[in-house]
Amino acid sequence: MPELPEVEIFRRYFDHTSLHREIAAVTVRDTYVLSEVTPRDLEAGLAGRHFVASDRFGKYLFGERDTAGCIVFHFGMTGSLSYFDDPADEPPFTRVRFDFTRGFLAYVDVRKLGMITLTPGIDQFRREKKLGPDACEVGFEEFRKILSGKRGAIKSALMDQSLISGIGNIYSDEILFQAGIPPQRKINILDETAIRAIYDAMKEVLGTAIHAGADMDKLPPSYLIPHREKGGMCPRCGHSLARIKVGGRTGYYCPEHQRV
């Protein structure tokens, strides 16, 4: 479930495996993954080139070419990147492979919900996809404005990429857990203090998760995520976690201290 922290870790992985290396070939194993480009486009756009930099916006990873334009990776629920020195080591469910003059990067995605495309630039891509500001970049005033006038559940808003980019089902639960607010709470009844608590928790949770290398096992013991399953207990008070559908997504929360 790559959300912002996982994609940030992918970006760093991409940096130290794939930057400044000549791309010898691009092989598309499943065309499903391509959006608005053909395998030929991708191959022609990358072969003989190299990546000079990377960027991340929300859950999207961008690889900047030495010529203008970027490749865009989205990871759906099960997408990931893996680098191998040995060309024979291609892992199962590789959908696209990028061969350098030595070694290759595999885009692996079991459930095929990910996407790869090309874009002239990040700003243009962001406009086309109608993405809200990145969750790590957005300031409090802008955050407050984005939520003002909204009436739905706070969890749904946090997960809405057109409002804020980067938060998915898992981290929205964690943010609301840390903020002490139940996921189904309607936005219009949240006061300034609650909005502030959510904003602060968003920054804190995302920063902590990135620092932990997006490794769920390295999160602080006070975090909900490791307990986020049927029969799970609140890491703070031991109360059974509640399970609820919000906007079609399964959310977990502690009914004991997510009240307000």
Partner DNA sequence: ACGTGCTCCTGTGTGC
Partner DNA sequence: TGCACACAGGAGCACG
What residues line the site for DNA (CB under 7 A)? 1-3, 32, 58-60, 74, 76-77, 93, 110-113, 129, 149-153, 156-157, 159, 161, 168-170, 187, 245, 247-250
Q: Is 3 a catalytic residue?
A: yes
Closest CA to 52 of 68, 76, 40: 68
Q: How near is the Cβ of 48 to DNA at its closest, in Å?
A: 30
Minimum CB distance to DNA smaller for 48 or for 137: 137
Question: How is residue 155 annotated by DSSP?
Answer: H
User: Among the options 56, 59, 126, 228, which is catalytic?
Assistant: 59
Residue of 147, 155, 159, 162 whose CA lies nearest to 252:
155
Residue 33's SS3 state is helix
Instruction: Indicate the residue among 159 and 181 with the shorter CB distance to DNA.
Output: 159
* Contact (CB, 8 A) for 35 and 128: no
Annotated active-site residue 228? The verdict is: no
Q: Kindly state the smallest distance separating residue 89's Cβ from DNA, in Å.
A: 19
Q: How far, in Å, CA of 246 to CA of 260, rounded?
A: 18
Handedness of CA 159, 160, 163, 165 (dihedral sign): positive
Q: Which of 150, 196, 249, 256 is catalytic?
A: 249
Which is nearer to DNA, 47 or 122 (by Cβ)? 122
Rounded least distance, CB 184 to DNA, Å:
9
Q: Which is nearer to DNA, 160 or 200 (CB)?
A: 160
What's at 40, amino acid-wise? Answer: R
Give yes or no: 2 in active site.
yes
Q: Which residue shows structure tokens 């400044």?
A: 20
Q: Tell me the catalytic residues.
A: 2-3, 59, 249
